[in-house]
């Protein structure tokens, strides 16, 4: 486990930035500075391997953990964590076209969280949802995680049946029921599973509208 930097409370910002290079200033000044989050998860970063690994490093946070598109500059995931957070990036074997990033986090009371950040482009059909559905139990067991949180842009309205099966069969709760897209759809937000009894971890969600056409979603997470 990393150094003892565990926390009881987590604040998470999840954003479809449609170009991290273009919108990192807006993200920082409109969301990161006001909310002081522990986790910043972005999708549709449009980064590629020609962009240096230290691009956009935010003071007090790790470098961005990136999953760039291999063959073009669209899509992509980038996640960074407050330096004081106990977290490791997980090397998960999956098909190259899937845009999923996994992390293991520790809380102060020794709970462990499996965090998945997902970008689901329309052309992938149900592939990302099917991968999570078919592998979630083994991932939780393999990495000794008690809880599961999924963030990102899932475009769940395109695969509604598979999405609802994932929520129902794994006891996941969708915490965003407000529009996160200019079209009025709710495409982004956290899904959370807590197998033990007690109150839910995610206690509130808010969003802002500067990163159009998607909104930035801010979550407060009580461990």
Over 80: is that where the pLDDT of 218 sits?
no
* Cα dihedral 70→73→74→78 (10° resolution): 70
- CATH code of 32's domain: 3.60.10.10
- Decide if 2 is inside a domain: no
- Decide if 4 is inside a domain: no
Maximum alpha-carbon separation in the chain: 47
- Decide if 167 is inside a domain: yes
- What is the percent of the chain with per-residue pLDDT over 70, rounded to a whole number? 74
- Decide if 70 is inside a domain: yes
Between the ranges 41-45, 73-77, 193-197, where is the mean pLDDT highest? 41-45
Residue 112, domain extent: 9-222
- Decide if 94 is inside a domain: yes
- Decide if 3 is inside a domain: no
**Confidence (pLDDT) at 70:** 77
d(CA 173, CA 166): 10
Q: Angle at the Cα of 82 (from 219 to 47), degrees rounded to 5?
A: 85
What's the domain count of the chain? Answer: 1
**Confidence (pLDDT) at 21:** 95
- Decide if 1 is inside a domain: no
**Confidence (pLDDT) at 200:** 39
**Confidence (pLDDT) at 188:** 54
How many residues comprise the chain?
A: 223
**Confidence (pLDDT) at 184:** 47
**Confidence (pLDDT) at 212:** 44
pTM, two decimals, is 0.82
Task: Assign residue 152 a region (left: φ > 0; alpha: ψ between -120 and 50; beta: otherwise).
Answer: left
- Decide if 42 is inside a domain: yes
**Confidence (pLDDT) at 67:** 96
């Amino acid at each position: 486990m990393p150094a003892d930097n565990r926390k009881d409370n987590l604040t998470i910002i999840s954003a479809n930035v449609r170009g991290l290079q273009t919108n990192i200033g807006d993200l920082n000044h409109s969301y990161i500075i006001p909310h002081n989050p522990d986790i910043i998860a972005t999708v549709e970063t449009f980064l590629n391997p020609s962009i240096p690994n230290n691009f956009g490093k935010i003071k007090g946070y790790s470098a961005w953990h990136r999953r760039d598109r291999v063959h073009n500059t669209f899509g992509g995931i980038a996640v960074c964590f407050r330096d004081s957070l106990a977290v490791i990036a997980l090397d998960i074997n999956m098909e190259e076209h899937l845009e999923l990033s996994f992390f293991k986090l520790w809380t102060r009371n020794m709970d462990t969280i499996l965090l998945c950040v997902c970008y689901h482009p329309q052309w992938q059909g149900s592939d990302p949802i099917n991968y999570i559905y078919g592998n979630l139990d083994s991932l939780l067991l393999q990495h000794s995680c008690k809880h599961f949180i999924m963030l990102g842009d899932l475009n769940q309205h395109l695969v509604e049946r598979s999405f609802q099966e994932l929520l129902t069969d794994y006891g996941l709760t969708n915490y965003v029921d407000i529009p996160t897209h200019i079209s009025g759809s709710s495409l982004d937000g956290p899904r959370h599973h807590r197998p033990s009894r007690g109150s839910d971890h995610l206690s509130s969600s808010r969003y802002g509208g500067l990163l159009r056409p998607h909104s930035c979603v801010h979550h407060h997470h009580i461990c």
